[in-house]
Every structure is written in structure tokens, then in C-alpha cells.
Structure 1
Amino acid sequence: MSMERVTDWLHKRSMISPDRIALLDAATNERIDYRTLDERASKWAQYMCHHGITKGDRVVFISTNHTVCFEILFACGKIGAVFVPLNWRLAPSEIESIAKNCTPSLLFYKKELQFLVTSISKCCPQFCIEDAAGKVYSVEKGMSYSPILSLSDPWLMIYTGGTTGSPKGVVLSHKSVTSNALNTVVSWNLIQEDCTVTYLPTFHTGGLNALSIPLLMIGGKVVLAERFDPEQAIRALNEYECSIVLLVPTMYHLLMEKDEFKSTPFPKMKVFLSGGAPCPGKVYEFFKEKEIPFKEGYGLTEAGPNNFYIDPSRMKKGSVGKAMMLNRVKVIDDEGNPVGRGEVGELLLGGDHLFKEYWQNPEQTQQVIQDGWLHTGDLAKFDEDEDYYIVGRKKDMIISGGENIYPQELEHWISEHPAVSECAVIGLPHEKWGEVVTSFISLQKGAGISTEDVKAFCLQKFGKYKIPKDYHFVKELPKTDVGKVNKQALTKLLQGQ
């Protein structure tokens, strides 16, 4: 039986573009070219092998955004180990729970985060990144051989956010990661002159797979920044002459409050991307006025995360665009039949970029992957041009008085009001209606608005049955670690938990 073998494409890239800058640390301004990145990855691979790591072993990594993340990621790829970056914002007990689940054979941590791993010190050998790096880099030569790896072998395991239950380990194979990168390069027209700043955390698929790994495949430059600060971000985007960047809507909110962002032309920027959560229309309008291309993406850890392409010159407000070159998309009804244009159904994705499995959870894997299609749990529709629109999560759909109501379209509209900063809409149990549409609204600084004002604004767009019955004004909407509104926290807020 033939086996699809893994190609060490970082090594190939290091031979093609040895002196081009691959990684740049925004904090220290350290620049790492492709030759050095590949050499360091080989040295980390040798270091891990020396400590008994073999094919299939999990290697946990706990750190803020750091160039070493990619060195160890590619090192794992060379020896068949599974790279497991964990959310450093979790509590020690949560880290302990995930460690029990993934049973790592080795753990790397940043010195300032040692407190997170003290309770799991007996689970496996642990090494401080800063201390280990000195030993690793001083070795004259790294690993000169690689085991035979199949494209179906796991390379990455990313834990989901867990806002709807226990975090799940999403296993991404070499095929998953490489296919997503290739699809992104081809569909988004990335070139080696492109540069991005990665603000999304590298424990998240957005920080690793959205732009960083695709740009490294094509020979571009990836600037790594530890924490997002709007003033520093504006300087970084200009100083490093970034041509493409992915931010979450929360980050755009913070940037748009700064006069410097409004006045800066960003001459090298090809496109600003938004992901991680639905983007309010105000952000679209802002970039339209600036005459800089802006587009919204859609993805999930289990698929890419890149799935759609938008031509900025043909952008439609609220659309995520067309299916990318190397993947498949369809929308089905509750009986599994394809829906017609304009009709809402569940979004299914297909392609080599799909995840391999949920770690040690075959039941849930089989629930979401059927006949080669990933059932995303997201509701979508498409128009006559095959442009797709994400309507919301299937589980978030509100059924009130027998009518289907999609929170996302309400959230988008209410956020258009000049006094509103952000809005979230959820359905809460109701004895008469089944569920009642409930809104949470945060206001712009110094703005004032009444419940009646919001109702009147909603009635301009929607039928009375759709608009929220209850309105709650809050200082700020609770967010997950990657900037998504935490609707579970909103529900608990009203329940007094």
C-alpha cells in the first residue's frame, strides 16, 4: 500500500530563500532568516529526541507569542511529534485538566508562566524556553535525518475555547496544515514580499494557520507581537511595512478610537482582514472612507481556518465571499438536502484542510465529520453569485413563538446605531414564547440611548416578532481569549451566577 509522505517544506524553503527574513520579534527586533529558522528547528528536534520524544508524542508549549513557538512547531513536524500550544490565560487547574487529557511527554514554558505548570510537574519533563534555548542554539549541528512520516500523521493539536463545555483537542494532520497553507497562498495571492504582524495568540488557529504558516510557506515575513496595544499596532503596521493583517473586531474597535489610525494611510497595506467573530458594519464603513480594502473571513479550528475568498473590489457587506480554490462548500436543510439560493441552512465544508479527529473522542468526531463533510453547526446562505453569508450558530438560533430568529442579523443592525459600540443577542427560556429575544448593548463613550430608541431603530429593518423584547445596557460585553463575545457568560449574568 502506497503512503503519502510528508515533505519537510521548511527545509526546502530555507534552501530557496535562505537569507530572507522569516520571523521578526516585535519586542526585541530580533530577525530570523529562513536558514536560521530551519537550523534552529533541527536543533530543537535533536533536543527533543535526546529527551526521548518519538513519533506521536505530545509536546506542550505554553508561552505568549514568541519566535520559539515556530521553531518548536517545525521541530515537531520534523520528528513526527504533536505540537500542543496551550492558552496561557487559563488557570493552573485548567492547564492541569488539559494536560491530563493530552498526556504530554515534554512541556516547554516561558519563564514568567512557570506558575501555570507547577501543579503538573510530575506529568512529564518540563523546560523553561529561555534556559533551553541557550543549550539548543549552542549545538553545532541539528538533526540530519527525519523519520518517514505520512500526511495523515498528526502535527498539531489545538484545544477549542470551551465556552460550550470542556475544551476538545482538535488534531490537525500534516495534510490539514499544509493544505490550508497551500490553499491560502493560492486563493489569497500571497507572495514572498508580503508581511504580517501576528497579534492573534499562537495557541489559537488564527495565530498559527490563518496567515503565519501560509506566509512562511511562500517565503514571506511574520512579525510576532506579544500583546495587542492600539498605539503600538499602528506603529508596527507602518514600521514593518505590513501588506496584510488579521485582527478580531475588538481590536478594530480599539484602533478606530485612535486619531492616528484615522489619519495614517498605510501605503503598503493590501488588505485588512477580520476574523474570529462577526464584524459590525461600522468597521466596513470606516475602511471604505479610508479607501483601504477590508474583508471579513470565516473559519474554525476544525477546518483550516481559511475557507473563503473575497475580491475586495467586489466586496458585499456581510459576505465572507466565495469558496477558496481547494475546498468545497455546501448548505443543507435539516433533512440533509441542499438548499436554494437565499435559503438558510447548515454550512458544510470539505477538503484536505479538515481536521483529523477530536483527541480520544471518536463519537464527537463522527458526529461532525460525515461522508467527508464537516458539519460546522453554523447557519449560512448564498446568493446568485455564489457569495456566502454566515447567519449565525445553529445552536444560537432563537425560536420564539414558532418563528426562527437569527441573532447575528440583529446584532449587525443594532451595532449600526451611532450610539452603540457593540451588541449581543441571545434567546432565553420563556414560558409563553419558548424563547424570548434578549439584547445586551454597550454604548460609545459619552453616548446615551433609551430602550425605546433601540426598538424604533430595529423596527426600521425587522418585523416586530424579530426584535428584542428585553434590553440590557452593559459597560462592556464579556469576551473569550480570542475576542469573541462570550454568550454563555451573558446567560449566567442574567441568571445571577
Structure 2
Amino acid sequence: MVNDVNWFEGRVKLTPKETAIVDAKTNKSWTYEQLHERVMKLTAIFHAKGVKKGDRVGLLSPNDISYFDFFFACMKIGAIFVPFNWRLATSELNYCLNDSAPILVGASPNFAAKLAVCDHQVNTLIIEHDDYLEKEIISGFIDTETKMEEIDPLAMIYTGGTTGRPKGVILSHRSILWNALNTITSWGLTKDDVTLTCLPMFHTGGLNVLSLPLLLVGGKVVLRSDFDPEQVMSDINKHQCTVVMLVPTMYHMIIESETFRTTEFPSMKLFVSGGAPCPLRVYQAFLDKGIVFKEGYGLTEAGPNNFYIDLSDVMNKMGSVGKPMLFNEIKIVAEDSLHAGTDEVGELYVRGNHAFMYYWNRPEETEETLVDGWVRTGDLARQDADGYVYIVGRKKDMIITGGENVYPLEIEHWLESHPDISEAAVVGMPDEKWGEAVTAFIVSESKLTPEELEAYCNEQLTRYKVPKQFIFIEELPKTDVGKVNKNLLKESYSKPNKSLL
């Protein structure tokens, strides 16, 4: 078969006997050679079921070996891998199925019932256990020639946005390969590295941050289908993980655990946070234990890996995601469409071979996001005199109060540094006098008062940045990947406001 973009087969030839995948729950493992055998069996099943180049093949499953079976089988025959978010409501899943129109969907028994009630009737392959491939009767696989190019689509990952319908982000063979190459070279990954993937693999963070880069370089990926802070810390040490990426919500749960206070991580080189800005108190918790911790930045449409920061600079540049990685460029564009100056806030643009190709069935939105080869991220950032980039927040989250621009992240970081505050989210609520009133949602087990928090904010923040009201709630609503759902907060608590001050 002629397939110049199938790097997986090249890796199998180089390190066939090395362990590629470990299931943390069952302790079962597969070498690169064994994983390749699984991929070939699934490829034969695809052919038997009529899957061709360009067809969409879905997967509805928690993290397990099937993700790599399906991904690499799609890579081999030119199909488009579509991992569906199994947390979606039936109506939302129905939309994604109708939009992508997969010819085949692999599904674990727990989620197969969701498919049965959807409008789009699809051929289903049940993934009951990791031996699901043995139950399919096939006559054999003829390795016919399929010509593919690096710009052919390989995966469609639906964005987990908090407004509107999810968009199918098309990642080409080139997009995924160059994200992996960029990560390996910039972060210095080697075949000796081991990661734990417990982020859901229907999300680019679970699939593309470390899992695929480590398989490209010949490392090991340990899979866990759920998140429990105690279990994750145990898995890291049991499997001698060296680099792990989690989202801030997960880190928050870890540092609050008594186990964290007594656990050492001797094999770990690096903990990485991504998916949302990370509270500085998490940095401090790891620093107090002498553990290296840094923050990354990415999005489904670009990478998602875009920045590198040297470990020696992390504490000197607290909160920075670093400098652009080796094989991508960034620019920060001010409101006047010119390049922002030093420490001036503007919209972050990213460019490189790791960028997405287009949104599935969304030409107008593709045109709005891809501008002259640059990906408009919708995120606000600034770059200091030394070239280090700081993410300020989402452009749509910026608050304009009394004519002043307020960036919620600065306030959230200060609030979350308070010893009695677990989490904080800051939004702009409609207000007749101010246009938008800075409003803080607080999660705390202590009996704090608004007056105490106002005094605390006055210590650090300019007056117009101090929240005009503090709302105490038991838990911040989160999206499926752990981001705070600010739109839901605003919808739940919005009411006509004469003026808060």
C-alpha cells in the first residue's frame, strides 16, 4: 500500500516490541507490534463494511484501546476519524451524527442505546471489551493501494463550545503530524517518556497533547477512563510517568487531597496544565513540593500545542505559557488591526502546519477564523519585553464597565489566591449605569462576607476592577472538558439590574 503519511507503520518497524499502550484499569498492555495487529484487523473490518477514503467513522467510547485502533485504521485507509463526546445529551449527539453522517460508529454498550434513538441510523460496531475485534468474522484483508496526501482529512473533532452548535474541526494528516513533531522537538520528548491520559480522548487534549506525540516518538501511553485524584496520583507512580497533562479543575482536586501532601512523584519530569487558565495557587502548591509545573495553551483548531517555556523560567514568568514552539508563529493584534506593542493586550493569532483545514459544512465560519493562513483564536493575550506570552482571557469574556476594559482572569487569579476561596469566576452582568457590572461567583466553605472580599480586592486591584457584587455558590458549572461555563452562570443569574452601585 502506498501511504506516505502513515507514520505509525514506520514507528512499528522501528520499535515493534516496546510497550505502546497500557490500560490502567485492567493493567493490560500492548506493544507497538500488537497494536499494529489490532489496527490491521480493524482495517479489514472497515473494508468489509464498505468504509472508503473520505468516509467518516465515529467512536462513542470512554478512553480505551479502541481509540488507537480506530484512529490508526482511519489513517491507513484514508477515512476520517470522528470521536464523539459521550457526555452529550441525545439531541446534541443527534446533531453531530446528522452533521458528520458517519458510515460506521464504534460504541461501548453503555452508549449504544444513545445511537439507537438518534435520527441518523448508522451501522454500529459494539466495543464490549478490548477483544471486540476477535468477535468480528472477516475473510481477510487485501492491502490495496490507496493514494493519500498530507492535506487529506484524518480527524474531525467537535468543539465543546458553550454557545451555538458544536463545530466539526477538520484536522489533516499534516495537522496532526506537525503538532506531534512540534511537541516532541520543543518539549524534548523521547521514547523513554510515559504519560497518563485521563482527559477524554474525544477532546483534542486527550488525543493530541501527549498521546499521539508520544506514540510518534516511541513512548508509552497509559490510559484511564475516568478521573479520581487519588487513583491518578497512584497511576503516575505505579507506571513511572514522566509527563502528564491535566486541566485546572483536575489539579484543583489533586492539591486539595491529603494524599498530595504526602506523595512524592520521583519519575515525573513535568506536570502541564491546559484547557483553561490555571490558578496561581496550583503553581504554588507544586512549587512547595519542589515539583516542576507549567501551563500550556492551545485550541482544537491549532495544535493544540503552541508554546514552550523553559522549566527554569516558570517561576520567574508565573502564569506565562512561554514562547512560540519551534514550528509555529504567533502574533497579537490590537483593536486597530495593528500588531500590539509590548504588554499591550490584543487577539492572539497562530500560524503553522499544525493548524486545522476547515470547519465541516461551515464555509463562512471557516473564512472568519482562517485569515491569510492565520488562525484567529478569539483569545486575548499580551507579550512582554522578553517575548513571553500571557493569556488574558477570551475576547468574548472581556468586560466593559464604565468605559474601561476589564479582563476577568486577573481578578480570578487574585480571588483564588485567597486561602478561603476554592474557585472563582468573574463575568460582566448587564447594568444600566455601568453597561456591565463586574460580578464574582465564589466557591468557599468559609463564611466570607462581600465586605471582606471587597476589602481584599482593594489591596490588589484598581477600583473599577473590584467586583460590584459577590455571589456565593456551591459549585461552578463546567463544560465537558472542565472549563467554567460562564454563559450558563450569566443565564442563571441574570436579571434586570437598575444599578449595583
TM superposition score category, shorter chain reference: over 0.9
TM-score by length of 2: 0.95
Residue type matched to 1:402 in 2? G
2:22 matched residue in structure 1: 24
1:7 matched residue in structure 2: 5
Q: Is the 8 A contact 1:79 1:146 kept in 2?
A: no
Residue type matched to 1:434 in 2? G
Q: For 1:51-450, what aligned pairs fall within 5 Å after superposition? A: 51-120=49-118, 123-130=121-128, 133-135=132-134, 142=141, 144-315=143-314, 316-443=317-444, 445=445, 447-450=446-449
Q: 1:130 offset after TM fit, Å?
A: 2.7
Q: Which deviates the most, 39-48 or 277-286?
A: 39-48
Q: Which deviates the most, 215-224 or 32-41?
A: 32-41
Q: Deviations over 1:73-132 (max 9, x none)?
A: 100011010000011011122111110111111111001211211113762211102388
Q: Is the 8 A contact 1:40 1:142 kept in 2?
A: no
Residue type matched to 2:326 in 1? M
Q: Deviations over 1:292-328 (max 9, x none)?
A: 1000111000000000001111111110001000000
2:498 matched residue in structure 1: none
- Partner Cα separation in structure 1 for residue 134 and residue 221 of structure 2: 25
Task: Mark the CA change 1:298 to 1:356 in structure 2 (over 3 Å): closer, same or farther.
Answer: same
Q: Which deviates the most, 94-103 or 140-149?
A: 140-149
Task: Mark the CA change 1:284 to 1:170 in structure 2 (over 3 Å): closer, same or farther.
Answer: same
Task: Mark the CA change 1:146 to 1:461 in structure 2 (over 3 Å): closer, same or farther.
Answer: farther
Residue type matched to 2:188 in 1? N
Task: Mark the CA change 1:143 to 1:31 in structure 2 (over 3 Å): closer, same or farther.
Answer: farther
Residue type matched to 2:82 in 1? V
Q: 1:264 offset after TM fit, Å?
A: 1.4
Q: Is the 8 A contact 1:44 1:136 kept in 2?
A: no
SS in 1 for 2:396: helix
Does residue 473 (structure 1) correspond to residue 472 (structure 2)? The answer is yes
Residue type matched to 1:328 in 2? E
Q: 1:143 offset after TM fit, Å?
A: 5.3
Residue type matched to 2:273 in 1? S
SS in 1 for 2:422: strand
Q: Is the 8 A contact 1:43 1:143 kept in 2?
A: no
- Partner Cα separation in structure 2 for residue 121 and residue 420 of structure 1: 45
Q: 1:495 offset after TM fit, Å?
A: 3.3
Task: Mark the CA change 1:153 to 1:425 in structure 2 (over 3 Å): closer, same or farther.
Answer: same
Q: Is the 8 A contact 1:42 1:143 kept in 2?
A: no
Residue type matched to 2:226 in 1? R
Q: Name which of 26, 44, 47 aligns with 2:45.
A: 47
2:490 matched residue in structure 1: 491
Q: Is the 8 A contact 1:106 1:125 kept in 2?
A: yes
- Partner Cα separation in structure 1 for residue 186 and residue 473 of structure 2: 40
- Partner Cα separation in structure 2 for residue 231 and residue 142 of structure 1: 44
SS in 2 for 1:437: strand
- Partner Cα separation in structure 2 for residue 227 and residue 308 of structure 1: 27
Q: 1:137 offset after TM fit, Å?
A: 7.8
Q: Is the 8 A contact 2:101 2:120 kept in 1?
A: no
- Give structure 2 stretches of 5+ with no counterpart: 496-501
SS in 2 for 1:83: strand
SS in 1 for 2:287: helix
Q: 1:136 offset after TM fit, Å?
A: 6.5
Residue type matched to 1:215 in 2? L
Q: Is the 8 A contact 1:171 1:357 kept in 2?
A: yes
Q: Is the 8 A contact 1:6 1:149 kept in 2?
A: yes
Q: 1:139 offset after TM fit, Å?
A: 6.3
Residue type matched to 1:385 in 2? D
Q: 1:5 offset after TM fit, Å?
A: 6.8
- Partner Cα separation in structure 2 for residue 94 and residue 380 of structure 1: 32
Q: 1:404 offset after TM fit, Å?
A: 0.5
- Give structure 1 stretches of 5+ with no counterpart: none
Aligned-pair identity (%): 49
Q: Is the 8 A contact 1:6 1:174 kept in 2?
A: no
TM-score by length of 1: 0.96
SS in 1 for 2:424: strand
Q: 1:144 offset after TM fit, Å?
A: 3.0
Say what the alpha-carbon RMSD is for the aligned residues: 1.6
Q: Is the 8 A contact 2:108 2:128 kept in 1?
A: yes
Q: 1:340 offset after TM fit, Å?
A: 1.0
- Partner Cα separation in structure 2 for residue 259 and residue 123 of structure 1: 48
Count matched residues: 491
Q: Is the 8 A contact 1:177 1:209 kept in 2?
A: yes
Q: Deviations over 1:396-431 (max 9, x none)?
A: 110111110001111111100001000000011111
